[in-house]
């Protein structure tokens, strides 16, 4: 299994592969293209009939409850349920559909249907792995929805013959007079074994056709007359080759009794057997495939030499540097190659980890994902999306305002083990919590066990709710949340809902959440044991909402049999829950529209425009504004208390904890002229110096906000638990931040990752859009890029800590422990930038300097924080900023 | 070949590219040469994968495991060098530069022709033995940083002009433009010509002098990998004081015997005291009188255009990490800064400085270019974007300093800070007492104070 890919060639393929898409295609299009939405009516009917025939895998179909009032709902998506009960049903919003239709009318009719891919058994077992030609062939089969099983029927009906469309691809046997095209699957490897054993002819072994040269009549010459068929042979299985037929050509090569053995022996043998999966078919990718020996050898040998797994290697291919990441599971190796200029190595490493994790979530293991032949089409789709996300993320977002932001945003945040969280006013939060609790309780009439005197089908383990792409409520364990988020991220569901491009989305599939499927360490009666259940993911999207529900079958619910499809009742209830939440939407929108907390500055404000005089920088409007705001801040008594608290603390602690920053801030306040705190301690020299700079007052205003938050949240490290009982104080907090809204401070951007809950917080897209500035957007892009490299360093630190924890048991402190930088806990980079189009030749362009600082907190639980702020208060702001975002993480 | 079999070890393999015959293998563990070598099968596979790719037009450059890195490089289609390192914090930048330098060292002592046209492998193997000392010192823990920074490690003498004058006069008398004073691999003063030596010989020559066993005088044939890779020159060294050597690079003339004691005495007797002072200065690199902030535990100060650097951890401050650890920290930080944040493209104008050496006879044919940007540096990740040119960065390492009773102080980690100003770059290792917010100020002041020296 390998998903090698490089550069340009891949893109070409991508475009070639999905021709119906408009050039500026969006993520919704992709989803539509690849998954069923609606299809030409005639085919639909046919399928329905088909799935009715093979209805054995729908034993737990919704018919159980079909007496209830949901018949109308069933009609919408039930036709799209696929083999194994999987469902991906997407109905675009009206606007979206119209716009698409106007662009390209056919787009909604393009369709793959995965339930149609049923392979001939032989093919399933052996064919696919071996021979590229057959593989291609199978793809055509798939794309044309030709099922080997009912091949005969189709062919006799006539209209869809792939053989006529694609004569070069076939493995056909053409018979005389009325030529017949017959496709059979052959397995040369099998043939070799058989042949050696039984001294049979290839004709017999491969095709199952018996031709007796002795019986030859004069009129026949060297014609290959079918004298008999081997029972169970491919020819007989096809049902189209009859005794007396004449074999005219194999793969378009005319055959006679003289050349048949040679022609058949040319069918490629099992050359590629070690490759389970390969995507795409580009030139670069083929090249990588041809040197797979390198990867296999390296994987083997370096593991022996170094004692650790190979993680990546780099090679140049057509003058381009390509990084290849490795992921080993059991005896299988997953490789992903991407051009270095597009995807830096640290990012690639996290990408492959995500891929592996997502595939495991979807299929249980990499093995089952790649070894099941029927997954090929899904994997193609999966990796198509993957490469698009990796290389052209901007294409996945709509062309609306924040496009560039989205792309740079996803560059970094997609690598984070978390999901963007939107803090809400307590009241709203509570309302949502309650609605979701009701759903999770599953206490609706149809689900009550008494009602039907049967066990319920599923237990709802928990759910998480997204609004416009932000997580607003999650009742799931962190691992589940992250698994589900990765799935949503991969299929680009979050941006989809954020722009309300869907009318209705229902996704149902069996999943394998790692949290529940971890092997029990020790059988212990005291510890909760996960039941040996099966898990299903139900995602329902409605307008801006996306509700992901994790269901458990087995345990206290009844056991799942076969591959149950989505259950109407549950889908219905989830939908009802979403409808119930419509009332909250207004307050959510209000939250999104409200000024950010903490308030952000736009980088462009710190640069005088080219007309302005340079002096304006020093006597900046900022300063005056800040003075104004610092006066505007209320409740001096509380401030006094807080400040004295801090200065006390500062005296006790060593200055290295950067608490000096607070004192600076206070001094700055004095400089601003509005602070009454002249009784505080004299400051370190550094601080006094800082106070002269215009940054001082800004710091003080930031500080005030921070300390306030600090007061309401006494221990920022245990926010999770306090979340529930903070209501009043938190309201106060929201009031407070509203009060200071409109303040300019020096904070440009931030990302706070909280690994305990698997969430991160960063300004919303709406907030960033409000700070619309050319330099600012560049700055944010740079911020994200820088964060990526800072995070790569933190990853090393985390690994180092892990190793150290292991070493402690072995009591062997590495002699070099102190000599490498790890563990790095804080890393900052100072950037300078100037306006792009500086026209004034006489003066040098003004320069604005800003910091990007990342901080890693290891204890009690790993947390990461990245902030970007103006240089003027650099040293001061940092610690403030840390506190700031901890205040947020409630 | 278990885990501890290679941890902290560096293995360098040199093979003939065409035949795959190993020319030599050197190993070092924990900074010292080691006899432990990779099994032959591993050497074969390491070379095999590279060759296999080469045949299919795919050049394998590097591979990494969780704690080990391997880098391959073929020089002139003739010699393949492979380095496998499991040292903590081993980076590709370091390993790539190491390979360049190792090949440079091979050319320096054997000559390019011998390496590109291998006629007799056995003979070449024997000849390459001469390079072992130099290569081992490159693999191991050196007090210098030139192998990594590609800059010449220098010392700023107290009486620079005096020594410079003496050196220039002496060089003129013996008829060479390339002369320098070297203490323990660091250059004290050099003639103008000496500073124009290209890379890697500018780094390798002092390094070589530092690794050779002590001798009163030497006449050592060297090729200049950049300036004269096929025609050998003579490196004359004369020990003026223990560890302090006078180096002269010249053609066939003058014979060593011509450098009579009288000549030496004439030029160097008057500056004997400054010379002695240099010796004392050797590990500190900057004059004793020059005071640095006591929090600074080590510094690496580079001039990227002149390709010179000060690297010292001998700045007082008994507590804190050992000198060896300090050096390693600074080196790791240099790698981080160079590979991630300060891409080489923005070091200001780096004009290729050409110089025709004025020396009449032997060196007339040599035209020396200072090497253009280190090739491995070129592809360092992430080009600075127009709106974000990195100027400074710092790291707070969690590698906690040992407290008074050997307890680790969790709050205090060593700090490292780097700033870039024009062609100069300063990296400091700062003690945990120093507040984070003061780091940049400290670095800026230190950079200004150090600017006169470079």
Residues in chain A closer than 8 A to B2 (CB atoms): 307
Q: Please report the residues numbered 1 through 20 in chain B whose beta carbons come closer than 8 angstroms to any beta carbon of chain A.
A: 1-3, 5-8
> Does residue B327 lie within any of the structural domains?
yes
Instruction: Count other C-beta atoms under 10 Å from residue B117's C-beta.
Output: 10
Q: Are residues A336 and A292 in the same domain?
A: yes
> Does residue A763 lie within any of the structural domains?
yes
CA–CA dist A518, A534 (Å, integer)? 13
In this predicted structure, the answer to whether residue A721 has a pLDDT above a threshold of 60 is no
Q: Are residues B133 and B219 in the same domain?
A: no
Residue carrying the six token digits 């996300």: A389
Q: Domain total for chain A? A: 4
Q: Provide the residue range defining the domain that includes B50.
A: 10-140
Q: Are residues A477 and A541 in the same domain?
A: yes
Helix/strand/coil for A635: coil
pLDDT of residue A199: 57
- Whole-prediction pTM: 0.72
Q: Are residues B56 and B172 in the same domain?
A: no
For the record, the structure tokens of A420 come out as 């963007």
Maximum pairwise Cα distance, chain B: 66
Top pLDDT among A110 and B195 is at B195
Helices first, then strands: H and E counts in chain B: 15, 19
Residue A339, beta-bridge partner list: A322
Q: Are residues A775 and A745 in the same domain?
A: yes
Give the containing element (helix H, strand E) for A355.
helix A345-363
Helix/strand/coil for A482: helix
Please, which pLDDT band fits residue A56 given cuts at 50, 70 and 90?
Answer: very low
CA–CA dist A38, A30 (Å, integer)? 14
* Residues B207-221 pLDDT 10s: 999 888 888 888 889
Half-sphere exposure of B419 (CA within 13 A, CB side): 15
In this predicted structure, the answer to whether residue B367 has a pLDDT above a threshold of 50 is no
> Does residue A438 lie within any of the structural domains?
yes
Q: Are residues B94 and B215 in the same domain?
A: no
Average pLDDT (B224-249) is: 90
DSSP code per residue over B255-315: -GGGS-HHHHHHHHGGGHHHHHHHHHHTTT-S-TT----TTEEEEEEEETTTTEEEEE--S
In this predicted structure, the answer to whether residue A327 has a pLDDT above a threshold of 90 is yes
Q: Are residues A353 and A461 in the same domain?
A: no
For the record, the structure tokens of A165 come out as 């469309």
For the record, the structure tokens of A865 come out as 């924080």
pLDDT of residue A731: 40
Of the candidates A555, A579, A603, which is a domain's last residue?
A579
CA–CA dist A676, A670 (Å, integer)? 7
Q: Are residues A430 and A573 in the same domain?
A: yes
Of the candidates A235, A266, A297, which is a domain's last residue?
A266
CA A515 to chain centre: 18
Residues in chain B closer than 8 A to A823 (CB atoms): 397-399
> Does residue A439 lie within any of the structural domains?
yes
ipTM metric = 0.85
Picking from A867, A825, A828, the residue whose alpha carbon sits closest to that of residue B396 is A825
Average pLDDT (B90-98) is: 89
Q: Are residues B296 and B425 in the same domain?
A: yes
> Does residue B124 lie within any of the structural domains?
yes
Please, which pLDDT band fits residue A133 given cuts at 50, 70 and 90?
Answer: very low
Q: Are residues A874 and A754 in the same domain?
A: yes
Helix/strand/coil for A396: helix
For the record, the structure tokens of A635 come out as 């409740």
CATH number of the domain enclosing B230: 3.30.450.30
Top pLDDT among A457 and A396 is at A457
Q: Are residues A429 and A556 in the same domain?
A: yes
Please, which pLDDT band fits residue A882 given cuts at 50, 70 and 90?
Answer: low
> Does residue B254 lie within any of the structural domains?
yes
B84 close contact with A: CB closer than 8 A? yes
Average pLDDT (A56-66) is: 38
- Torsion, CA B441, CA B446, CA B449, CA B450, rounded to 10: -140
Give the least confident one: A596-605, A752-761, B224-233.
A596-605
Q: Are residues B163 and B64 in the same domain?
A: no
CB contact under 8 A, B437 and A874: yes
> Does residue B19 lie within any of the structural domains?
yes
> Does residue A598 lie within any of the structural domains?
no
> Does residue B132 lie within any of the structural domains?
yes
Of the candidates A380, A402, A425, which is a domain's last residue?
A380
Residues in chain A closer than 8 A to B52 (CB atoms): 291, 293-294
Q: Are residues A251 and A291 in the same domain?
A: no
Give the least confident one: A343-352, A432-441, A589-598.
A589-598
Maximum pairwise Cα distance, chain A: 121
Q: Are residues B190 and B277 in the same domain?
A: yes
CB contact under 8 A, A291 and B56: yes
Top pLDDT among A845 and A243 is at A243
> Does residue A846 lie within any of the structural domains?
yes
A139 contacts A281 by C-beta, under 8 angstroms: no
pLDDT of residue A113: 32
Identify which of A158-172, A270-284, A849-863 has the greatest average pLDDT: A849-863
In this predicted structure, the answer to whether residue A130 has a pLDDT above a threshold of 60 is no
Picking from A531, A570, A528, the residue whose alpha carbon sits closest to that of residue A554 is A531
Residues in chain A closer than 8 A to B59 (CB atoms): 315-317
A128 contacts A373 by C-beta, under 8 angstroms: yes
Of the candidates B282, B302, B330, which is a domain's last residue?
B282
Distances in Å between the alpha carbon of A628 and those of A466, A673, A675, A847?
Answer: 38, 10, 12, 26
Average pLDDT (B122-135) is: 92
Q: Are residues B169 and B66 in the same domain?
A: no
* A831 → closest Cβ in B62, B391, B435: B391
CB contact under 8 A, A832 and B434: no
Sign of CA dihedral A393, A395, A397, A399: positive
CA–CA dist A417, A754 (Å, integer)? 9
Q: Are residues B315 and B431 in the same domain?
A: yes
In this predicted structure, the answer to whether residue A106 has a pLDDT above a threshold of 70 is no
Please, which pLDDT band fits residue A310 given cuts at 50, 70 and 90?
Answer: very high
> Does residue B25 lie within any of the structural domains?
yes
Top pLDDT among A164 and A260 is at A260
Length of chain B: 454
CB contact under 8 A, B396 and A827: yes
Residue carrying the six token digits 């050349």: A259
In this predicted structure, the answer to whether residue A268 has a pLDDT above a threshold of 90 is no
Top pLDDT among A203 and A590 is at A590
> Does residue B264 lie within any of the structural domains?
yes
> Does residue A715 lie within any of the structural domains?
no
CA–CA dist A832, B385 (Å, integer)? 10
Of the candidates B246, B263, B282, which is a domain's last residue?
B282
Identify which of A47-51, A374-378, A717-721 has the greatest average pLDDT: A374-378
B154 contacts B239 by C-beta, under 8 angstroms: no
pLDDT of residue A44: 33
> Does residue A540 lie within any of the structural domains?
yes
* B388 → closest Cβ in A298, A306, A833: A833
Please, which pLDDT band fits residue B382 given cuts at 50, 70 and 90?
Answer: very low
CA–CA dist A159, A144 (Å, integer)? 11
Give the least confident one: A573-577, A856-860, B91-95, B220-224.
A856-860
CB contact under 8 A, A287 and B392: no
Q: Please, where are the H alpha helices in A184-244?
A: 188-198, 202, 234-238
In this predicted structure, the answer to whether residue B146 has a pLDDT above a threshold of 80 is yes
Residue B420, beta-bridge partner list: B425
Of the candidates B140, B166, B196, which is a domain's last residue?
B140
Residues in chain B closer than 8 A to A298 (CB atoms): 49, 63
Half-sphere exposure of B284 (CA within 13 A, CB side): 18
Top pLDDT among A809 and B267 is at B267
* Residues A674-700 pLDDT 10s: 333 333 333 333 333 333 333 333 333
Average pLDDT (A30-46) is: 32
A441 contacts A463 by C-beta, under 8 angstroms: no
> Does residue A657 lie within any of the structural domains?
no
* Residues A872-881 pLDDT 10s: 765 444 565 5
Average pLDDT (A24-29) is: 32
Picking from A78, A44, A37, the residue whose alpha carbon sits closest to that of residue A61 is A78
Q: Are residues A801 and A840 in the same domain?
A: yes
* Residues A498-554 pLDDT 10s: 776 677 888 998 999 888 877 655 556 666 767 778 899 999 988 888 999 999 888
Q: Are residues A431 and A291 in the same domain?
A: no
Q: Are residues B132 and B78 in the same domain?
A: yes
Length of chain A: 890
Beta strands A459-467 and A545-553, pairing class: antiparallel
Q: Are residues A256 and A315 in the same domain?
A: no
CA–CA dist B63, B315 (Å, integer)? 38
Top pLDDT among A371 and A449 is at A371
pLDDT of residue A856: 84
CA–CA dist A103, A108 (Å, integer)? 11
pLDDT of residue A22: 35
Residue B181, beta-bridge partner list: B189, B246
pLDDT of residue A151: 34
> Does residue B444 lie within any of the structural domains?
yes
pLDDT more than 90, % of chain A: 7
Report the gap between the CA of B311 and the closest CA in chain A (Å). 16
The CA R_g of chain B, rounded to the nearest whole Å, is 22
Average pLDDT score, chain A: 65
Q: Please report the residues numbered 216 through 235 in chain B whose beta carbons come closer than 8 angstroms to any beta carbon of chain A.
A: none
Report the gap between the CA of B347 and the closest CA in chain A (Å). 14
Q: Are residues A250 and A302 in the same domain?
A: no
CA–CA dist B425, B444 (Å, integer)? 10
Average pLDDT (A777-794) is: 87
Q: Are residues B109 and B235 in the same domain?
A: no
Q: Please, where are the H alpha helices in B196-243?
A: 201-211
Q: Provide the residue range defining the domain that includes A355.
A: 283-380
The CA R_g of chain A, rounded to the nearest whole Å, is 32
3-state secondary structure A711-772: HHCCCHHHHHHHHHHHHHHHHHHHHHHHHCCCCCCCEEEEEEEECCCCEEECCCHHHHHHCC
Picking from B268, B277, B325, the residue whose alpha carbon sits closest to that of residue B155 is B277
Q: Domain total for chain B? A: 3
Q: Are residues B200 and B296 in the same domain?
A: no
Residues in chain B closer than 8 A to A825 (CB atoms): 396-398, 413
Q: Are residues B187 and B46 in the same domain?
A: no
CATH number of the domain enclosing A456: 3.30.450
Which residues, 6 or more positions from B120, have their beta carbon under 8 angstroms from its beta carbon?
none
């Amino acid at each position: 299994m390998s998903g090698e890919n490089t550069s340009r060639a891949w893109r070409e393929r991508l475009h070639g592969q999905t021709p119906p898409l408009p050039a500026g295609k969006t993520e919704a299009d992709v989803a539509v293209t690849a998954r069923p939405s609606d299809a030409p009516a005639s085919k639909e009917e046919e399928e329905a009939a088909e799935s009715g025939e093979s209805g054995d895998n729908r034993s737990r179909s919704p018919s159980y409850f079909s007496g209830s009032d949901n018949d109308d709902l069933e009609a919408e998506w039930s036709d799209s349920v696929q083999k194994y009960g999987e469902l991906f049903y997407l109905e675009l919003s009206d606007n979206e559909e119209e716009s698409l239709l106007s662009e390209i009318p056919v787009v909604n009719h393009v369709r793959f249907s995965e339930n149609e891919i049923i392979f001939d058994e032989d093919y399933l077992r052996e064919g696919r792995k071996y021979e590229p030609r057959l593989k291609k062939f199978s793809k055509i089969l798939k794309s044309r929805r030709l099922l080997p099983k009912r091949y005969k029927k189709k062919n006799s009906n006539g209209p869809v013959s792939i053989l006529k469309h694609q004569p070069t691809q076939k493995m056909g046997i053409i018979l005389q007079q009325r030529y017949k095209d017959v496709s059979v699957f052959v397995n040369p490897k099998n043939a070799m074994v058989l042949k050696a054993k039984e001294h049979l002819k290839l004709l017999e072994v491969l095709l199952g056709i018996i031709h007796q040269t002795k019986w030859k009549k004069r009129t026949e010459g060297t014609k290959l007359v079918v004298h008999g068929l081997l029972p169970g042979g491919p020819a007989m299985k096809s049902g189209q080759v009859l005794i007396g037929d004449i074999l005219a050509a194999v793969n378009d090569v005319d055959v006679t009794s003289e050349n048949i053995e040679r022609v058949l022996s040319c069918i490629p043998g099992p050359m590629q057997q070690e490759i389970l999966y390969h995507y795409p078919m580009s030139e670069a990718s083929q090249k990588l495939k041809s040197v797979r020996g390198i990867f296999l050898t390296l994987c083997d040998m370096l593991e022996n030499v170094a004692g650790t797994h190979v993680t990546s290697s780099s090679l140049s291919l057509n003058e381009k540097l390509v990084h290849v990441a490795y992921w080993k599971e059991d005896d299988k190796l997953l490789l992903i190659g991407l051009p270095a200029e597009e995807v830096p190595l640290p990012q690639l490493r996290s990408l492959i980890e995500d891929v592996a994790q997502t595939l495991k979530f979807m299929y249980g293991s990499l093995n089952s994902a790649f070894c099941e032949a029927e997954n090929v089409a899904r994997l193609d789709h999966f990796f198509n999306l993957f490469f698009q996300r990796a290389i052209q993320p901007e294409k996945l977002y709509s062309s609306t305002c924040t496009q560039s932001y989205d792309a740079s945003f996803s560059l970094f945040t997609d690598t984070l083990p978390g999901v963007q969280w939107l803090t809400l006013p307590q009241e709203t939060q509570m309302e949502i919590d309650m609605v979701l609790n009701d759903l999770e309780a599953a206490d609706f009439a149809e689900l009550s066990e008494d009602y039907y005197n049967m066990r319920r089908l599923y237990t709802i383990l928990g759910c998480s709710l997204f609004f416009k792409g932000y997580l607003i409520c999650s009742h799931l364990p962190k691992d589940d949340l992250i698994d589900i988020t990765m799935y949503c991220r991969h299929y680009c569901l979050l941006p989809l809902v954020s722009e309300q491009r869907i009318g209705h989305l229902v996704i149902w599939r069996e999943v394998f959440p790692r949290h529940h499927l971890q092997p029990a360490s020790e059988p212990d009666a005291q510890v909760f044991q996960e039941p040996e259940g099966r898990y299903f993911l139900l995602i329902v999207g409605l307008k801006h909402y996306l509700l992901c529900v994790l269901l458990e079958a087995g345990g206290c619910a009844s056991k799942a049999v076969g591959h149950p499809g989505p259950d109407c009742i549950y889908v219905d209830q989830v939908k009802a829950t979403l409808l119930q939440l419509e009332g909250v939407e207004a307050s959510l929108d209000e939250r999104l529209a409200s000024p950010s907390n903490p308030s952000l500055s736009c980088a462009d404000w710190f640069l005088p425009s080219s007309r302005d005089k340079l002096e304006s920088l020093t006597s900046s409007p900022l300063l005056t504004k800040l003075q104004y705001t610092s006066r505007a801040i209320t409740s001096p008594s509380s401030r006094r208390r807080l400040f004295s608290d801090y200065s006390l603390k500062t005296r006790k602690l060593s200055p290295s904890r950067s608490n000096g920053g607070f004192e600076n801030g206070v001094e700055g306040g004095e400089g601003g002229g509005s602070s009454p705190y002249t009784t505080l301690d004299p400051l370190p020299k550094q601080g006094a110096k800082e106070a002269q700079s215009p940054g001082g007052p800004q710091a003080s205003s930031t500080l005030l906000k921070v300390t306030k938050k600090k007061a309401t949240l006494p221990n920022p490290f245990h926010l999770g638990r306090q979340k529930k009982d903070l209501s009043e104080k938190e309201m106060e907090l929201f009031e407070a931040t509203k009060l200071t809204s409109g303040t300019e401070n020096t904070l440009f951007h931030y990302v706070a990752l909280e690994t305990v809950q698997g969430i991160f917080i960063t300004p919303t897209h709406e907030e960033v859009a409000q700070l619309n500035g050319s330099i600012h957007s560049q700055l944010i892009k740079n911020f994200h890029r820088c964060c990526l490299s800072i995070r790569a360093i933190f990853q090393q630190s985390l690994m180092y800590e892990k190793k150290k924890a292991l070493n402690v048991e072995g009591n062997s402190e590495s002699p070099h422990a102190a000599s490498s930088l790890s563990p790095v806990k804080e890393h900052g980079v100072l950037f300078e930038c100037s306006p792009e189009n500086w026209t004034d030749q006489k003066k040098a362009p003004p320069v604005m300097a800003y910091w990007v600082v990342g901080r890693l907190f290891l204890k009690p639980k790993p947390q990461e924080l990245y902030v970007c702020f103006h240089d003027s208060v650099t040293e001061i702001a940092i610690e403030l900023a840390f506190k700031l975002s901890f205040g947020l993480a409630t | 070949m278990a885990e501890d079999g290679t941890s902290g070890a560096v293995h360098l393999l040199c093979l003939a590219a065409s035949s795959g015959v190993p020319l030599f293998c050197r190993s070092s563990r924990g900074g010292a040469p080691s006899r432990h070598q990779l099994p032959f099968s591993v050497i074969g596979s390491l070379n095999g994968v590279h060759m296999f790719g080469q045949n299919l037009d795919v050049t394998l450059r590097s591979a990494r495991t969780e704690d080990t890195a391997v880098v391959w490089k073929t020089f002139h289609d003739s010699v393949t060098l492979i380095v496998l390192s499991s040292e903590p914090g081993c980076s590709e930048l370091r390993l790539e530069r190491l390979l360049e330098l190792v090949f440079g060292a091979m050319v320096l002592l054997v000559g390019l022709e011998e390496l590109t046209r291998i006629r007799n492998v056995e003979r070449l193997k024997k000849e390459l033995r001469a390079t072992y000392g130099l290569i081992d010192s490159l693999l191991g823990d050196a007090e210098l940083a030139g192998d990594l920074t590609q800059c010449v490690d220098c010392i700023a003498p107290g009486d620079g002009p005096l020594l410079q004058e003496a050196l220039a006069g002496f060089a003129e008398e013996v008829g060479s433009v390339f002369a320098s004073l070297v203490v323990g691999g660091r250059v004290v003063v050099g003639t103008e010509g000496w500073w124009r030596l290209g890379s890697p010989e500018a780094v390798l020559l002092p390094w070589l002098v530092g690794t050779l066993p002590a001798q009163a005088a030497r006449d050592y044939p060297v090729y200049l990998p950049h300036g004269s890779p096929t025609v050998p020159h003579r490196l004359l060294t004369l020990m003026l004081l223990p560890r302090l050597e006078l180096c002269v690079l010249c053609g066939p003339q003058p014979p060593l015997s011509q450098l009579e004691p009288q000549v030496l005495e004439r030029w160097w007797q008057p500056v004997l005291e400054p010379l002695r002072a240099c010796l004392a200065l050797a590990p500190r690199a900057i004059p004793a009188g020059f005071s640095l902030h006591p929090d600074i535990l080590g510094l690496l100060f580079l001039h990227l255009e002149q390709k010179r650097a000060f690297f010292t951890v001998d700045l007082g401050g008994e507590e804190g990490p050992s000198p060896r650890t300090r050096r390693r920290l600074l080196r790791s930080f240099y790698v981080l800064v160079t590979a991630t944040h300060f891409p080489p493209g923005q070091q200001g104008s780096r004009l290729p400085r050409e110089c025709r050496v004025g020396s009449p006879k032997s060196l007339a044919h040599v035209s020396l270019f200072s090497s253009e940007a280190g090739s491995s540096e070129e592809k360092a990740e992430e080009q600075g974007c127009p709106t974000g040119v990195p100027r400074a960065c710092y790291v707070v390492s969690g590698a906690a300093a040992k407290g008074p009773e050997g307890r680790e102080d969790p709050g205090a980690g060593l700090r490292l800070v780097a700033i870039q100003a024009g062609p100069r770059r300063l990296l400091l290792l700062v003690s945990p007492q120093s507040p984070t917010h003061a780091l940049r100020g400290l670095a800026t002041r230190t950079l200004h104070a150090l600017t006169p020296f470079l």
